[in-house]
Amino acid sequence: MMRHDVSRISPLLSANLAPTVPVFTTACPRNCYSTCSFRVHVEDGKLRRIEAHEGNRATPEGPCLKGLSYVERVSSPDRILHPLRKRADGSFARISWDEALDEITRRLVDVREREGPQAVLYYKASGTKGLLNEVGRAFWRLYGGYTTTYGDLCWPAGLEATRLTLGANKHNAPWDLENARLIVMWGKNPAETNIHQGVFLERALRAGGHLVVVDPRRTETAERAELLIQPRPGTDGALALAVAHLLTRDGHVDEAFVREHVLGFRDFAASVAERTPEWAAEVTEVPVAHIERLAQLFASVRPATINAGFGMQRYTNSGQAMRAMIALLAITGNVGRPGAGWVFADLQSHVFDEVCDPVASFPPEAPDGVARVSISTARLGEEMLATRDPALRFAWVERGNPVTQNPDTRRVLEAFRALEFRVVVEQFLTDTAREADIVLPAKSMFEQSDVINAYWHPYIQLKQKVLDPPGEVRPESEVYWTLAERLGVPAEARLAAGMPEPGDAGVEAFLRRHLEALGAGVTLERLREGPVIAPGHQEIAFSDGVYPTPSGRIELRSEEAARHWGVDELPTYAEPVESVRPPRRGSDPYGLYFMTPNTKNRIHSQFNNLRTIRAFSPAPFLQIHPDDARARGVGEGARVRVFNDRGSLEVAARLDFGVKPGCVAVTNGWWIGEGGSVNFCSRGRETDMGHGAAFHDNLVEVELVDGDGGRSRAAGGPGAPGWPTGADER
């Protein structure tokens, strides 16, 4: 087992250790592929050391820098430890819990009497996973109703494409990747976003495997690849169809597998007959030789795995693109076998959830009319403003930072500022928290027990309570319990709705009920020792040949796709809405594709406020190809404005030959005060299926900032729209 002694990493993470201190097993609940297991040492009520837990085969090397930075995060001097109320000048003042809850209760009663309960927006995101997250929905139903969102910012197009084609979102266990001999990282950069996968990737390569990376950027992962394919953003579907053309034309199809398991192959083969490499080269700007080489690898190397990233399915055509990619595996027989298959999301550990079905997520989740599920997450600002009967008056936000992370930041700001009252539950004064009237302090992962699952590996894990909350921090479940009491809801009704009683005993009883309902012998006692593989887990996905589609086969032709989403029954290619190619339906004057990828030291807008992390990423910068920079008079380190008709931000330029010409990139998650959200430039649009956010359909232009800094107001700097005037900077 590899141990991480925090004293070797940063003084901010170090502490003197007693010879013997309590050690607890826990797991990171952040929205991240790895969902690491680790052990924590606690001394004198403080977190002292974080080390690996070998019980999780997917993450035996231990947590990343973000995980290690929890030592700083839980005791950060910037952490919110008391309820805050916004003053007239925009700054915040500490108030008591009674003051906060009295005002929130009064506002909730007033809104319900004047407008009805659905005038309240309950916005919950995925910043923290856990069974206790469902307590919020239980409270708002007891309140009498609420309005909430449908869809998701992250992955719905890929989930729906996978469900339509294979019938279920599952993939081989992470460690099976080392059995693959062809690995295509299609829009995925695990060196940044899934670092533990790198262990299994490296083993596959050492055993003679081939790695292909498809990405407009030359990423850290691409440095290990034998072939880097850099398509024009949003054209991945065209590339996949051209590879399918070559495989079907040249007879590199697994006929026996197709006969037994695939529906619609002949129609699909006919549909790609004209999708030649020459056609795809013109569309994607990928050389014909690279397309042919990728097809040759699929034809000659088995088993093959495609790992698809989340970012490349955030385009208006991406559901169909993902279907085309899965088709490559289906026609070559690379499904249901060791080292083979489609790796996107493995929901086999989601044993407590309803089936993840984007079709079922809209219309509303509650046929009794309690929940109005009427606002697209992708179009949050626009649809909040347009909501009527009743209009929105009050918002409650938890586990998310929509001002920074949702498309079209300016519209989101406008929508939140149009409300009468806003409550945000947070650990730090994020951009969204700064828009609140009342901020309630949120617990850290170490201050309340919960059970979590994952979407890359198959484990169920216990996130144990190991610390008491500092200051006046209260777990959200206790806040909801108290608010329900103040609203006159009897304790019996609260318990019947699934709300745990306050205190550790109430939480433990809540978790035990859920585990007992699972009926698979997974207990709190087992989970305290370490992670447990979810009951019924299939290590090689679809190895039984069962595909829960309407036909019981892998569906290259899907009637459901056409019926639900209005797309072709077969995977097809359409130009993204915002494109430099005709027809230019998006931002006509803007000629650069704006990519906003993740980075290894943040999870979107989390962690970069910590000094440990900021040492590695002090400020945002723009990656731009030297040819594009030269055409705009931009030199290395120059201050530039990235803009379109929706908004702008101002950053330093970094010239990078690894970025495809015509593309620029800034990592997402920067707060407005750090240089500006990338979503000042994005548009609220949905993907072609799944109600995902197509905010990567995003054209911009880049120009030098005037030497006197005169553009800073337009670029998200002090005085710009969205900047928290007069707020306490902490």
CA-to-CA distance for 102 and 115, rounded, in angstroms?
20
What is the per-residue pLDDT for 424? 98
Cross-strand bridge partners of residue 439: 84, 424
pLDDT above 50 (res 722): no
Helices (H) and strands (E) in the chain, counts: 23, 27
CA-to-CA distance for 355 and 459, rounded, in angstroms?
17
Mean pLDDT for the stretch of residues 250-256: 98
Handedness of CA 457, 462, 466, 467 (dihedral sign): positive
Q: For residue 397, what are its two tokens?
A: 């936000």
Q: What is the 3-state secondary structure (H, E, C) of 221-290?
A: HHHHCCEEECCCCCCHHHHHHHHHHHHHHCCCCCHHHHHHHEECHHHHHHHCCCCCHHHHHHHHCCCHHH
Cross-strand bridge partners of residue 622: 653
CB distance 329 to 335 below 8 Å: yes
Q: Is the peptide bond before 502 cis (omega within 30 degrees of 0)?
A: no
Nearest C-alpha neighbor of 621 from the set 634, 640, 607: 640
Domain boundaries, the chain: 6-73, 84-144+360-447+466-503, 156-348+541-560, 592-715
Residue with tokens 């606002």: 375
What is the per-residue pLDDT for 5? 40
Mean pLDDT for the stretch of residues 202-224: 97
Nearest C-alpha neighbor of 338 from the set 200, 453, 213, 460: 200
CB distance 138 to 499 below 8 Å: yes
Nearest C-alpha neighbor of 235 from the set 274, 292, 271, 283: 283
Cross-strand bridge partners of residue 49: 41
Q: For residue 295, what are its two tokens?
A: 């097809």
Mean pLDDT for the stretch of residues 113-124: 97
pLDDT above 90 (res 111): yes
What is the per-residue pLDDT for 476? 96
CA-to-CA distance for 387 and 39, rounded, in angstroms?
46
In this structure, of 229-243, 345-359, 688-702, the range with the lowest mean pLDDT score is: 345-359
pLDDT above 60 (res 374): yes
CA-to-CA distance for 66 and 85, rounded, in angstroms?
30
Mean pLDDT for the stretch of residues 306-319: 95
Nearest C-alpha neighbor of 543 from the set 335, 392, 385: 335
CA-to-CA distance for 360 and 34, rounded, in angstroms?
27
What is the per-residue pLDDT for 383? 97
The amino acid occupying position 128 is: T
Q: How confident is the model at residue 719 (pLDDT cuts 50, 70, 90)?
A: very low
Q: Which CATH class is domain 156-348+541-560?
A: alpha beta
CA-to-CA distance for 588 and 582, rounded, in angstroms?
10
Question: 3-state DSSP call for residue 516?
Answer: helix
CA-to-CA distance for 624 and 8, rounded, in angstroms?
35
Q: What is the 3-state secondary structure (H, E, C) of 85-136?
A: EECCCCCEEECCHHHHHHHHHHHHHHHHHHCCHHHEEEEECCCCCCHHHHHH
pLDDT above 50 (res 492): yes
Residue with tokens 């995902």: 692
pLDDT above 50 (res 728): no
Sheet with 421-426: list strands edge to edge.
Answer: 92-94, 84-86, 438-441, 421-426, 394-398, 120-124, 146-150, 371-376
The set of residues, in sequence order, having a beta carbon less than 8 Å from that of 77 and lying 6+ positions away, is: none
In this structure, of 237-241, 258-262, 674-678, the range with the lowest mean pLDDT score is: 674-678
Q: 539-596, pLDDT tens digit by residue? A: 999 999 999 999 999 999 999 999 999 999 999 999 999 999 876 665 568 999 999 9
CA-to-CA distance for 298 and 290, rounded, in angstroms?
13
CB distance 401 to 153 below 8 Å: no
The amino acid occupying position 426 is: E
DSSP track, 6-56 = GGGT-GGG-----SS--EEEEE--SSSS---EEEEEEETTEEEEEEE-TT-
Helix (H) or strand (E) holding 480: helix 476-486
Mean pLDDT for the stretch of residues 513-523: 89
CB atoms within 10 A of CB 109: 14
What is the per-residue pLDDT for 584? 61
CB distance 693 to 609 below 8 Å: no
**How large is the angle between the packed helices 288-300 and 236-249, nearest 10 degrees?**
60
CB distance 514 to 21 below 8 Å: no
Q: How confident is the model at residue 717 (pLDDT cuts 50, 70, 90)?
A: very low
**How large is the angle between the packed helices 236-249 and 277-284, nearest 10 degrees?**
170
DSSP code for 569: S
pLDDT above 50 (res 317): yes
CA-to-CA distance for 143 and 154, rounded, in angstroms?
29
DSSP code for 550: T
CB atoms within 10 A of CB 514: 16
CA-to-CA distance for 333 and 254, rounded, in angstroms?
5
What is the per-residue pLDDT for 3? 38
Cross-strand bridge partners of residue 425: 398, 440
**Angle at 528 (CA atoms; ends 526, 533), nearest 5 degrees:** 50
Q: For residue 384, what are its two tokens?
A: 């909040």
CA-to-CA distance for 210 and 201, rounded, in angstroms?
10
Mean pLDDT for the stretch of residues 613-633: 94
Mean pLDDT for the stretch of residues 380-392: 97
Q: For residue 574, what are its two tokens?
A: 């359409």
What fold characterizes domain 6-73? N-terminal domain of TfIIb (2.20.25)
pLDDT above 50 (res 339): yes
Q: 65-96, pLDDT tens digit by residue? A: 898 989 999 999 999 999 999 999 999 999 99
pLDDT above 50 (res 709): no
What is the per-residue pLDDT for 107? 98
Q: Is 3.40.50.800 the CATH classification of the domain at 592-715?
A: no
Round the average pLDDT of the chain to a whole number and report it.
90
The amino acid occupying position 444 is: S
Q: How confident is the model at residue 19 (pLDDT cuts 50, 70, 90)?
A: low
Q: 163-209, pLDDT tens digit by residue? A: 999 999 999 999 999 999 999 999 999 999 999 999 999 999 999 99
- Phi-psi region at 71: left, alpha or beta (left = phi > 0; alpha = psi -120 to 50): alpha
Nearest C-alpha neighbor of 425 from the set 477, 476, 499: 476
What is the per-residue pLDDT for 583? 64
Question: 3-state DSSP call for residue 69?
Answer: coil
What is the per-residue pLDDT for 673? 85
Determine the CATH number of domain 84-144+360-447+466-503: 3.40.50.740
Gyration radius of the chain over CA positions: 25
What is the per-residue pLDDT for 720? 38
Cross-strand bridge partners of residue 521: none
The amino acid occupying position 504 is: D
Q: Do the bridges between strand 421-426 and strand 621-624 make them parallel or antiparallel, or are there none, so unpaired? A: unpaired
Mean pLDDT for the stretch of residues 600-619: 88
CB atoms within 10 A of CB 98: 11
Mean pLDDT for the stretch of residues 439-453: 95
- Phi (first) and psi of residue 681, to 5 degrees: -100, -10
Q: How confident is the model at residue 532 (pLDDT cuts 50, 70, 90)?
A: very high
The set of residues, in sequence order, having a beta carbon less than 8 Å from that of 522 and lying 6+ positions away, is: 460, 515, 532, 535
Residue with tokens 């009468």: 420
Check residues 673 and 648 and name the one with the higher pLDDT.
648
Report the share of the chain in percent with pLDDT over 70.
91
What is the per-residue pLDDT for 13? 40
Nearest C-alpha neighbor of 306 from the set 157, 216, 177, 202: 177
Dihedral angle of Cα 529, 535, 540, 543, to the nearest 10 degrees: 160
What is the per-residue pLDDT for 354? 52
Mean pLDDT for the stretch of residues 709-719: 36
